[in-house]
Structure 1
Amino acid sequence: MLKKAVFKEDEVSTAIVIGSGFGGLASAIRLSCRGYKVIVIEKLDAPGGRAYVHHRDGYTFDAGPTIITAPFLLSELWELCGKKMSDDVDLRPMDPFYRIRFDDGTHFDYTGDPDRMRAEVAKFAPEDLPGYKRFLAEAEKCYKLGFQELSSTPFDTIKDLIRAIPSMVKMRAWESLYKLVARHLKNDKIRQVMSFHPLLIGGNPFSVTAVYALINSLERRHGVHSAMGGTGSLIKGLAGLLAGRGVQIRLNSEVKRIEVEDGKAQGVTLANGEFIPADIVVSNADAAWTYQKLIAPEHRKVWTDAKVNKSKYSMSLFVWYFGTDNQYPDVPHHMILLGKRYKELLTDIFKKHKLADDFSLYLHRPTATDPSLAPAGGDAFYVLAPVPNLESGTDWAKEAEPYRQAIAKYLDESVLPGFEKHLKTSFLMTPQDFQDRLLSVKGAAFGFEPLLLQSAWFRPHNRSEDIQGLYMVGAGTHPGAGIPGVLSSAKALMSVVAEPKKVLA
């Protein structure tokens, strides 16, 4: 029997937030402003989760999220605390948003400028300009219906799903994003440019719902930004807001179990055996991990082990972080390097769970915008390859170095000639790290794959279907991965979370 929490007569309800990623920090701020006493529990030695920051040999590396869209969702959090984000964070607009480089050396500069975008399309396929205009109209419709209407609306009951069906029909949600793009655009390169975005949130363009066309409109409306000092400066700013409200972030503290009695969350037990009581528990941890690893099976009727195991999971990531003592001004802040194969490579990654010999890459050079992230005269990079999750059976202890060498060879022969002789620091992150360090089932980098039947009501709900007083935020719940997604999950939380109340002894 658990020891019941005893509170002073004037003490308000307590909320524990598991994990200090963007979703966890945003939830903690919103709960604190709602009137809860909040405690954030973080396994790592610094806040951030997937947005952890590495400092190596004078270089600063953001571990994960580097593309900042929908900055208004961040500004809202500062405004809730009576502050201005611009006082703490310097966001810079990117131009171009991305450079998409094809394997033959040609490239498409993807921007928010309508005239320049039409010129880029015409450079490859002037005959696709009318289709491009039609695609933009489809993307705008998806933004209004999918993002503005549904992203921060919790899918708590079957009625919520039924209410959303007309909008889903208007967006042809049963159609894949690639199919939507291909209906309007004929040139293979332009199709790739307009369909790659779901890969940034763990989705296969050939499988995710066409609703994700909304990303195109989201970026055009609100831009793509970078934070000076790296994405970590946003995490630092959010943690500062919590500190200003007296909210504690307990670092180096891993939650081993969510304690449940009579179907209600009572608090959490840490790896060191300490029990922390709470009125509600909000998990920003991987949703599948939360249900399968933190809650005893007898308390789960919906998210059983069988359901968690048979769910489909996103791909994982291989990330190589490196710093050079030379600069590469021809490489923009964000660059996508597409390989020879597009659909076939994605089939290997998502469906066959096979580590292929070839790859497509995202090359991040933040020093293009903020030279302070590297020593004078140097550059900081990371290069990311989408790879299968651990269902592939890949032995990353054995395969990581050969894979890194293959990527280095490709970069040397394409956009970073001779860079290896300038390396000053280097380290890796593999799918095994996503499982072992970030506690993600199957090492999936984005949790459940964002398929239509694993989205909205079909995804783990923001208010747990199994446990009273347990709530979910982050990539694994509605609406999904990416900074806008996890921040929206924190907004959705506030529609279903219980109001704080005074708890008597």
Structure 2
Amino acid sequence: MNKTVHIIGSGFSALAASCYMAKAGYKVTVLEKNATVGGRARQLKKDGFTFDIGPTWYWMPDVFERFFGDFGKKPSDYYDLEKLDPAYSVYFKDGTSVNISAVLEEIYELFESEEKGSSEHLQRFLKSAKFNYKTAIEDLVYKPGVSPLELVTPVTITRVTQFFSTISKTVRKKIKSNKLIQILEFPVLFLGAKPTNTPAFYNFMNYADFGLGTWHPRGGMYKVIEAMVSLAKDLGVRFVTNANVEKINVNHKGAVESIIVNSEKVEANLVLSGADYHHTETLLDAQFRQYSEKYWEKKIFAPSSLLFYVGFDKKLKNVNHHTLFFDADFDAHAVEIYDQPAWPKDPLFYASFPSRTDLDCAPEGKEAGIFLIPLAPGIEDTHALRAKYFDIIIERFERLTNQGVKNNIIFKESFCVNDFIKDYNSYKGNAYGMANTLLQTAFLRPKIKSKKVHNLYFTGQLTVPGPGVPPSLISGKIASELILKKHS
């Protein structure tokens, strides 16, 4: 067989897959529709400021180490990592704020000061979370989602009830402080679903938070993309940017025979798509699509986002690298994301100030700020709405952090639902893929291997294992392993 593969997209999952396929001896071509590689993890540079357009959190460092280790490398061969301390700070409704330390003992002390006896509950909770993390990494997340039996191990059998309870129930069973509940429920937001819909087993994200810590690659998350591209090129991967795949042609035998790229036909023996799953299927003739529009409509998608990239002409006070603003009603905001999609009346939001840690992200004496409001995918997106919500969060930001900043804004750029659709062909403009609810976990997610086209595969956040940067790295690995198993 001709060992060539065309990979659509150049996000984390596609880059990971390209490295594994090239290492296995395949001739790999990565086709990226945008002018720069990285998918959602691109970079914005303006007036001496540098922003990560997409992911800003570096969690689960062991997954990155495992990826580079598969090629005899280490993350430190490509970029410098710094552990953040505090990991992040949180503002609450009453105007108070807390810092989440990088030191576990200090987190216990924080909990105990807020609610007597809570530190003991937290220790037991994290013991379970650490065990689940080890189980997930060793037994579950590197599986291809082919069979329900992948979830059946001697360990998971003993913890089956955790798949039918929820994070919310587990946390609230022992912890009564609303502030502590919000802190413990925060990490599962990375999985794209409400804590009330997320299986209790996923408390391993709390171990990722408190146990493994929050890190920052100097220069931003895009440094990880650059590292992966460098590795891929060393392995012989070819990159083509401004390469829009417009059609996937399937022959009478049910196999991809060619793809149309920028109106030109390109012969293809094997195709792996790291682009949006739904969009990729629209590139096929209807009879070769696995999932109907009705299927996608019924799925629970992770939120979209309204993002602002802001240059300030001064250093800001009372913020950390990662700062969460939980001064609004989370449950009400969640309803407006998942249950009754609408622009939120009183949104929670997140802000990142990379120049607090990384002086290269802003000119001297200035601050780079990234603000994010989670939104329902598929809602109306206009410049007027973006402006309205920027004013809302900046007014709250000024009040909570006790400083004026409106008059210190040099510029602001925004990114929202329409941009996710235009730049990434994202289904309904979602930002994080498909939520990891019980009925959308493992073998219940869209399949890596097409059931209708012999040589078409998928990778990324709509398939296994799910949303997030580390899961995307894992998705690229398991997709490549499945291909090699079927085609080598």
Is the CA contact 2:279–2:425 (under 8 Å) kept in the aligned structure 1?
yes
Residues 329-338 or 372-381, more deviating: 329-338
1:163 deviation in Å? 5.8
Task: Report the Cα distance in structure 1 between the residues aligned to 2:86 and 2:413, rounded to whole angstroms.
Answer: 28
Return the alpha-carbon distance in structure 2 between the equivalents of residues 265 and 226 of structure 1. Answer: 41
Determine the C-alpha separation between the residues in 2 that align with 1:31 and 1:55: 32
Instruction: Give the structure 1 partner of residue 242 of structure 2.
Output: 252
Deviation, structure 1 residue 442: 0.8
Mapped pair 1:294 → 2:280: no
Partner of 1:365: 353
Distance 1:132 1:73 in 2: 25
Does the 8 A contact of 1:135 with 1:184 survive in 2? Answer: no
Tell me, yes or no, if structure 1 residue 103 matches structure 2 residue 93. yes
The residue that corresponds to 1:7 in the other structure is: none
Contact 1:267 1:281 survives alignment (8 Å): no
2:400 equivalent in structure 1: 414
1:303 and 2:294 aligned: no
TM-score of the two chains, using structure 1 as the length reference: 0.91
Tell me how far 1:333 sits from its aligned partner: 0.6
Aligned residue pairs: how many? 487
1:27-176 equivalent positions in 2, closer than 5 A: 27-160=17-150, 166-167=156-157, 169-170=159-160, 172-176=162-166
Give the C-alpha shift of residue 131 in structure 1: 2.0
218-227 vs 185-194, greater mean Cα deviation? 218-227
Q: 1:241: Cα distance to partner?
A: 1.2
Give the Å deviation of 1:184: 2.6
Contact 1:339 1:358 in 2 (8 A): no
Distance 2:223 2:161 in 1: 36
Secondary structure of the residue aligned to 1:437 is helix
Per-residue deviation, residues 47-86 of structure 1 (Å, max 9, x unmatched): 1111010111111110111111222322344344444431
Could you tell me whether the CA contact under 8 Å between 1:97 and 1:110 is conserved in 2? yes
Query: Does structure 2 conserve the Cα–Cα contact (< 8 Å) formed by 1:89 and 1:228?
Result: yes
**Aligned partner of residue 206 in structure 1, secondary structure:** helix
* Matching residue's letter, 2:255: K
Offset at 1:400? 1.2
Partner secondary structure for residue 266 of structure 1 = strand
329, 346, 361: which one aligns with 2:334: 346
Quickly say closer, same or farther: Cα 1:437–1:164, change in 2 above 3 A: farther
Give the Å deviation of 1:439.
0.9
Q: In the TM superposition, what is the alpha-carbon distance from 1:279 to its structure 2 partner? A: 2.5
Question: Partner residue of 1:475?
Answer: 461
Which consecutive residues of structure 1, in runs of 5 or more, have no partner in the other structure? 1-10
How far does the alpha carbon of each residue in 1:342-385 deviate from its partner, in whole angstroms, 9 at most, with x for none? 21221121111121221111110000111111111111110101
Report deviation, 1:284: 1.0
2-structure distance, mates of 1:24, 1:481? 14
Shift of 1:167: 4.3
Q: Distance in 1 between matches of 2:436 and 2:57?
A: 19
> Residue 396 of structure 1: which of 382, 386, 389 is its match?
382
Deviations 1:447-491 (A, max 9, x none): 222211111111012222332222221111111111111111122
CA drift of 1:276 comes to 2.4
Are the counterparts in 1 of residues 67 and 473 from structure 2 also a CA contact under 8 Å?
no
Change (3 A) 1:464 1:422: same
Deviates most, 195-204 or 55-64: 195-204
Partner SS state of residue 108, structure 1:
strand
Does the residue aligned with 2:344 lie in a helix, a strand or coil? coil
SS across alignment from 1:354: coil
Could you tell which deviates more after superposition, 238-247 or 371-380? 238-247
Q: Is the 8 A contact 2:135 2:155 kept in 1?
A: no
The answer to whether structure 1 residue 197 and structure 2 residue 187 are counterparts is: yes
CA distance in 2: counterparts of 1:307 and 1:74, whole angstroms: 33
Work out whether 1:22 is the aligned partner of 2:12.
yes
Paired residue for 2:268? 278
Distance 2:384 2:254 in 1: 44
In the alignment, structure 2 segments of 5+ residues that lack a partner are: none
1:259-302 Cα deviation digits (max 9, x unpaired): 222222334222x21222233211111222222x22222012x4
- In 2, the alpha carbon distance for the partners of 1:144 and 1:75 equals 15
C-alpha distance 165-80 of structure 1, shift in aligned 2 (>3 A): closer
Identify the residue that residue 405 of structure 1 maps to in structure 2.
391
Partner of 2:452: 466
Find the counterpart in structure 2 of residue 445 from structure 1.
Answer: 431
Cα 1:461/1:139, change in 2 over 3 Å: same
> Aligned pair 1:323/2:314, yes or no?
no
Q: Percent of counterpart pairs with the same letter?
A: 28
Q: Quick one: distance in 1 between partners of 2:189 and 2:57?
A: 13
